[in-house]
């Protein structure tokens, strides 16, 4: 059941950012980016659903394959170890291609032997990497979804407990 893959985030007031503006990463104490301050409350006025899981290499590969095969609509193109939006023929002026994915930063690559995209062995179920915001947004829109806003993402990750560094033990 596809609905089992999503969590409903109810309407409510959610803490955004932490009162503590420092965190420890690899033994170094760092300060959060100024854009993350000051801590405040976000009023989420419309319930939304968010996936429980990150998009995997397998699922993003399926998206790439279906978009590359699409002949009836603008989709994507593979140029120079990157995935770009495909220009729309006949559009004046023609749109500027938008970067969707850098394959050098991904576990997805184009196999010259198979003449298709493949996922590096053992990484099918790992979260996809190397995808830009535009690439993630295009993926979501293709499947009737959208990316969450920053406040929605943080509300889903932390919930209503402002003291949590999201729900992960130890923080970041």
Per-residue pLDDT of the chain (172 residues; tens, 9 = 90+): 556 888 999 999 988 876 666 767 788 887 766 666 677 788 999 999 999 889 999 999 999 888 877 776 656 777 888 888 875 555 556 567 788 899 999 999 988 888 788 999 999 999 999 999 999 998 999 888 999 998 898 888 888 777 666 555 555 5
What are 23-30's contacts with CB under 8 Å, separation 24+?
23/165, 23/171, 23/172, 24/171, 24/172, 25/172
What is the predicted pLDDT for the residue at 68?
79
pLDDT of residue 49: 92
d(C-alpha 54, C-alpha 76), whole Å: 22
Specify the pLDDT at position 95.
66
pLDDT value for 120? 95
Q: What pLDDT does residue 113 have? A: 85
What integer pLDDT is reported at residue 91 of this predicted model?
A: 58
Tokens of 160: 């209503």
């Amino acid at each position: 059941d596809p609905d089992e893959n999503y969590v409903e985030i109810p309407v409510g007031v959610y803490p955004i950012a932490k009162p503590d503006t420092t965190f420890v990463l690899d033994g170094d104490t760092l300060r959060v980016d100024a854009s993350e301050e000051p801590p405040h409350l976000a009023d989420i006025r419309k319930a939304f659903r968010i996936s429980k899981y990150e998009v995997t290499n397998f699922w993003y590969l399926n998206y790439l394959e279906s978009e590359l095969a699409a002949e009836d609509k603008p989709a994507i193109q593979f140029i120079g170890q990157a995935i770009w939006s495909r220009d729309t023929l006949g559009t004046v002026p023609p749109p500027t291609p938008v970067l969707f994915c850098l394959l050098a930063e991904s576990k997805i690559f184009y196999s010259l032997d198979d003449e298709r995209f493949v996922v590096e062995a053992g990484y099918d179920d790992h979260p996809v990497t190397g995808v830009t915001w535009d690439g993630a947004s295009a993926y979501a829109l293709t499947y009737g979804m959208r990316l969450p806003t920053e406040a929605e993402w943080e509300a889903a990750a932390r919930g209503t407990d402002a003291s949590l560094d999201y729900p992960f033990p130890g923080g970041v």
